[in-house]
Chains A and B, each alone.
Chain A
Amino acid sequence: MTGASLDALRAEAREWLAANFPPSLAFKNPVPYQNHAPYAEGDADWRLWRDRMAEKRWGAPGWPEIYGGAALDRAGIKVLAEEMRRIGAFNPMKMTGYTMLGPTLLEYGTEAQKAQHLPGIASGRVRWCQGFSEPGAGSDLASLQTRCTDMGDHWLVEGQKVWTSGANHADWCFALVRTDTSVKQRGISFLLIDMRSEGVETRPITLISGSTHFCEMFLNAVKVPKENLVGRVNEGWGVAKRLLQFERDSLSEGRGEGRSLLPIARDRIGVNAAGELADADLRTRLVGHAMRAHAYNLTQDRIGAEAKAGLPTAQLVPMLKNLGSDVAQMRAELVMELLGTRGLGWSGPGFTDEEMEAARQWLHARAFSIYGGSYEIQNNIAAKRTLGLPDPKPIGC
């Protein structure tokens, strides 16, 4: 899209958003944190917003129309995102299914798989979870042990997953399973599992933020139809790597955003005669963060434009993920510092909802550098793939 058609889209988006985005949700997307707040679906306004976006097809704006999308190009998608950001709106479909599985199926799925699963993702009606990690396979994901055996007319899955976000609310799971035990990466397959299948059990694990969407998942002799394999047998690692790229990509989005901390800083620490924040030390650090967040957002925009022009940007994803989690974690730390003892509330009374939410977000933000491949793993990938640095050899000192 260019010039006039983009302008028209912007005008349409502005008008439609003003009429359809529930103001009660402005600047507080309930999905990313999933704290004590009721799960987003418990919120009537959230459901309304999801359904309106589904109908408008703007929840999956870039997907083909037959799958529930609006077939917009990158420039159009960016305009939509800008208009939403302006009023504190958000895309309610941005959950595991949309950010990770959708784009993977578009590349690797069969026609039948796409037709079966994409519309449910684009409408936000079908919830997905990611069954990758296992107790012994976190950073070293390829060491996963969940067995998948070919029984002729179906697959039989047996094993345990862990840290499966949202498994207790999910309808479907995309999982990595072992179809060959004699090799590591090349013995892995990518499977879609209906969570209502017999033998699937989930047990929630409470997070330090109090959230309970995190789960252990047990797969006890679960039968899975043959056609639920994505890609070929033993070629699931390639599919997973692609999916992890999409995951990192989505995780580096929006990290530099959020309203300026200046108003709350003014409120909490006051200003001197020159109108500057009264605490020089904190002022320097707040500005340092604001500038990093600014530069980070510019970087996101620039990389987006380069990707659109067909330049290679995939090798930057690990670094962007780390920059993004850094910026977001630092922001959460600064908010806590600004709030002082007011930021230490776990439950009321005595603390405002905003104060308690800040503490929960600060706790939850620690996960940014753990999930989707930890900070260290991203750096390892960047060092090896992007910079071409060699693996270490034992040096014995």
Chain B
Amino acid sequence: MAVLTEEQAMLRDMASEWVRDRAPVTAARAAARSEQRYDPALWAEMAGMGWCGVLVPEAHGGADFGCVGFGIVQEELGRTLVASPLLSTALIGASAIRLGGSAEQQANWLPRIAAGEVVVALAVEEETPDAGTAAMLTAGSEGWRLDGRKTPVLDALAADLLIVSARDEDGSLRLVTVDAAAEGVGISPLDRLDGRDAATIDFAGVPVDRAAALDGGAELLEHLLDRGRAALAAEMMGTAAQAFETTLDYLKTRVQFGQLIGSFQALQHRAVAMQAELIMTRSAVEAALAAIDAGAEDASMLVSLAKALAGDTLRLIAREMVQMHGGIGMTEEHDAGLYFKRAAVTDATWGHAGFHRNRYARLAGY
């Protein structure tokens, strides 16, 4: 673990204690496929601890701890698979408004985000990811009309405010904010492997005020995605660390052939290899988060490094978690399957490991 400041260490201890006491895996099970797909009471507690304002400036009621601070919380949430719209709202939403919003937009949204009063979702991906953005903003008498389909949109069901990417009349990519309850916004829930909040959103002639546009377009979007990826990588690292520790415990309790299965070298070596991957992943994740906070030039490269390592490491450990638990690891009752499914979802979100290897290659000039 990086050397933390006193404030960061406090944040970590608080998050870790809260997760253990208030949001164990049983809470994640209860939230999965429930009507809201997250627990609003827990969400309120998270807001109460100030986590929604980690990226919000102090002037707007936040703590301004930066991405490193956010990553610390997100890692702890990853341990027990806490389902909440925190990443969408407090990281991506707050960053979008802070970096691309006018003074008015900031004053309007940031305090409410920090207080946990609004949930934000990023509606960017489309059905054919490589075909570019097809959603359109058409100029009308006052402002634009928005048409298009976004899928999958994480935390869409919970969202009050959507940040949507679309092409304007000049073909430039823009990000605009859209009220999730506006007329013409159609939200169809998706039931995915992890049972969390995700949906397809159809926009049919939704009126968008020009003042709802964010500054920055494609560049801002890429930056927001990088923030999301880095924080998700931190979460994945927490998930992987917990999956590993649970497995390690099992190696130290399950007996076959009159001995602990952890005494078999075939398993010992693989356990050590997993720990080694976790060590490398941590270095990459921490470096990526710090690079974003510092505005470093190689931030994107580090983000791709982190997301690729987190994806590979988490999937490896989740596979081993199932394998080393034997039959019980294949049952719905056991947690291994939850980690295994969540691993696939997080890896596929905002580019899986293969995508980030290609991106790293491009950025590094290969």
Interface digits, B75-113 against A, CB 8 Å rule (1 contact, 0 not)? Answer: 000000000000000000000000000000000000000
A344 touches B331 (CB 8 A): no
Known: A163-B327, A349-B188, A363-B341. A207 touches B256 (CB 8 A): no
Partner of A205, one of B191, B193, B333: B333
Interface digits, B336-350 against A, CB 8 Å rule (1 contact, 0 not)? Answer: 110011001100110
**Which of under 10, 10 to 19, 20 to 34, or 35 or more describes the interface residues of B?**
35 or more
A379 touches B266 (CB 8 A): yes
Q: Main secondary structure on chain A at its contact with chain B?
A: mixed
Shortest distance in angstroms between B225's beta carbon and chain A's nearest beta carbon?
14
B327 touches A370 (CB 8 A): yes
Number of A-B residue pairs, CB cutoff 8 Å, is 114
Shortest distance in angstroms between B157's beta carbon and chain A's nearest beta carbon?
13
Known: A208-B330, A345-B190, A369-B323. A380 touches B266 (CB 8 A): yes
Shortest distance in angstroms between B186's beta carbon and chain A's nearest beta carbon?
13
A138 touches B256 (CB 8 A): yes
**B257: A residues at CB distance < 8 A:** 139-140, 143
**Which of under 10, 10 to 19, 20 to 34, or 35 or more describes the interface residues of A?**
35 or more
A139 touches B256 (CB 8 A): yes
A341 touches B152 (CB 8 A): yes
The answer to whether A340 has its CB under 8 Å from any CB of chain B is: yes
A344 touches B193 (CB 8 A): yes
The answer to whether B267 has its CB under 8 Å from any CB of chain A is: yes
Shortest distance in angstroms between B232's beta carbon and chain A's nearest beta carbon?
14
The answer to whether A347 has its CB under 8 Å from any CB of chain B is: yes
The answer to whether A227 has its CB under 8 Å from any CB of chain B is: no
Q: In chain B, what residue has the closest Cβ to A270? A: B130
Which residues from 260 to 305 on chain B have a C-beta closer than 8 Å to any C-beta of chain A? 261, 264-267
Shortest distance in angstroms between A205's beta carbon and chain B's nearest beta carbon?
5
A341 touches B349 (CB 8 A): yes
Shortest distance in angstroms between A164's beta carbon and chain B's nearest beta carbon?
10
The answer to whether B172 has its CB under 8 Å from any CB of chain A is: no
Q: Which 10 A-B pairs have the closest CB atoms?
A: A208-B337, A206-B332, A140-B256, A163-B327, A344-B192, A347-B191, A350-B190, A140-B257, A139-B256, A366-B322
- Ordered by A's residue number, 18 sampled pairs between the chains whose C-beta atoms are within 8 Å are A133-B327, A140-B256, A140-B258, A205-B332, A206-B333, A208-B341, A279-B354, A280-B358, A281-B358, A341-B348, A344-B344, A345-B192, A350-B200, A366-B319, A366-B322, A366-B329, A370-B330, A375-B323
